[in-house]
Structure 1
């Protein structure tokens, strides 16, 4: 989408960047599934090596990637802890599979995560926010664990250099540009869709003519899951 652009009723893209929609998946679900779930699987399984019984902290948990990560962690046998700004979305996050929900606006989020993990911290922390709070987020990583940063919603961040952890910058190209990783990711996601373990959360659907409204809704912070734009031909 960064190279070719997709805000149009027709898009010209390379054939090798297209995927067949899995059997039984409708067009809206198909549009919602791939970027979020490829990112979640790649960060947690391929980079973080998340194992059964591990804790995974997922910030911005009501975002499409956050929700995909909650379900992906569950499917890997791990224990997802969802971080979100307020408690308003807590019940929906628990329904999506979060073992615990921590509201960051209430303060003390890192201490709460350490309490929930018996003082150890999480094996993997997945964060798209970064910014000045990244050093505090890093406190939730277990010694020797992995902090995966896949976005910069709050801008550049100081690196937490005084904590024994691994820090990875991640983009979905880490999966899509490597055939073996891509094959494993597709198998994981397609089998999860078929079993019902992975369910893309679609917040709202807009027509292409309402693209401006779709962007305003994205920027409002009110969404829970993916915003999809459709085109009628």
Structure 2
């Protein structure tokens, strides 16, 4: 895919995989539409921030979820309509409060694990959950919302389809061109420092993508 002219190489490196994942899960699988209330877990990461921007591009309402209340302000600045910090509030109750008592139309989840049952309570009846990661390696609990439709999404399966790849690339290029999509780079390492880059990824909670340059 060509690099959007508006992005330097480092910004472009932070675009393709995370934004493809967010778009594919939200639009291709969950069918996100304007006005949908979208709950986004692990919102501080690369996919989470991409999802916030893509939701705004389409006209949906992104509600960011983070474990640390200290990150709330940065997520609001990043475009979230509201932030739920799970270190100080119950995710189900907070989601109902931010959606007028209905629940989220779509949940984009990168965590899974035992918290899935509680997370499912944040969705409306007949809502959709798109799982894009497994940050919590423990077995996932059974969803408490029996009407929830669940999609397990891996972007690499769509990337090998040229029709889908061109459709996603056109959407991302338009978003970059209009300034709605702005890849967030947390830190840049050189290839000589690849070990430190991996250690940073494993021990820190990056606010965006980590990019490695030659």
Structures share a fold, TM > 0.5?
A: yes
Aligned equivalent of 2:195, options 212, 224, 229: 212
Q: Where does structure 1 lack aligned partners over 5 or more consecutive residues?
A: 1-18
Aligned equivalent of 1:81, options 59, 63, 67: 63
Higher relative contact order (CA 8 A, sep 6+): 2
Give me the whole-angstrom Cα distance separating, in 2, the residues matched to 1:159 and 1:181. 31
Matched, 1:230 2:213: yes
SS in structure 1 opposite 2:136? coil
Q: CA RMSD, aligned part only?
A: 1.3
Give me the whole-angstrom Cα distance separating, in 2, the residues matched to 1:174 and 1:142. 28
How many pairs align? 213
Give me the whole-angstrom Cα distance separating, in 1, the residues matched to 2:207 and 2:145. 35
Shift of 1:193: 0.7
**Runs in 1 of length 4+ with deviation above 2 angstroms?**
177-181
25 and 109 in structure 1: CA distance in 2 versus 1, 3 angstrom threshold: same
Q: C-alpha deviations, 1:150-198, integer Å up to 9, x for none?
A: 1111123123265201001001024213333222211110111111100
* Aligned residue in 1 for 2:37: 55
Instruction: Calculate the TM-score normalised by the size of structure 1.
Output: 0.88
Instruction: Calculate the TM-score normalised by the size of structure 2.
Output: 0.95
Give me the whole-angstrom Cα distance separating, in 2, the residues matched to 1:24 and 1:100. 29
* Aligned residue in 2 for 1:203: 186
Does 129-138 or 215-224 show the bigger shift? Answer: 215-224
SS in structure 2 opposite 1:113? helix
Q: Where does structure 2 lack aligned partners over 5 or more consecutive residues?
A: none
Which has the higher Rg, Structure 1 or Structure 2?
Answer: 1
* Aligned residue in 1 for 2:166: 183
